[in-house]
Amino acid sequence: MNKEWALKTNSNNIIIFPTDTVYGMGVPIYDEVGLQLIYQIKKRPHNKAIVVLCANLEQAKLLVEFNKTIYKLASFFWPGPLTLILKTTTSYFQKTGKISLGIRIPKHPLALKLLNKYGPLQTTSVNINGKPPLNDYNTIYQIYHQKVKLIYPNDCLISTVSSTIVDATNSKLVILRQGTITQAEVQKIIQS
């Protein structure tokens, strides 16, 4: 993989890489061609949004707005298996037209290395829509090696549980998907 990878938008830029939850399938944040290819490969409905993974809070702050409560949650659980759906910044909205965005910082050395090098990645689990995520490198390679640019093996143990998703676009936080982080844990941090 070379430096131009993050800049290309006219070819298949999809990479598959391990995260701290499940394997991710991702493209550079503004690569709409690659994103559409992911939807096609996964047979995913276009009304289902895809999460953006970031390397750090500085990257995330360029994309979404943080209030005191959200900053507290992010500071406690990131890097880690918590996805926050937040309102987008004005600049991100102007580039994409999206008013909200699911965002997360994974706790996996390779994922963080890629995100630090190439910037935020639009990412989703490796599976056909509605099926369980695949987490075995050999299985993933057999199915996807001709459909994506690169597949990274995993040297660290990862979970088989997807991240907890919290919708924080309104004043009342709503857990949309229960992962390893529970509602009680989220509430405990908010109230601390």
Take residue 53 and report the two structure tokens written for it: 């993974």
> Domain residue spans in the chain?
3-191
Q: Percent of the chain, pLDDT > 70?
A: 93
- Helix, strand, coil shares of the chain, percent, nearest 5, are 35, 20, 45
Take residue 72 and report the two structure tokens written for it: 């507290």
pLDDT tens-digit series, residues 87-97: 999 999 999 99
The residues with which 25 forms a beta bridge, in sequence order, are 16, 124
Is residue 65 classed exposed, middle or buried when 0-12, 13-18 and 19+ CB atoms within 10 A define those classes? middle
Residue type, 107: K
Take residue 77 and report the two structure tokens written for it: 């659980």
- pLDDT of 160 above 80: no
pLDDT tens-digit series, residues 86-127: 999 999 999 999 999 999 999 999 999 999 998 999 999 999
- CATH code for residues 3-191: 3.90.870.10
Q: Would you call 48 helix, strand, or coil by DSSP?
A: coil
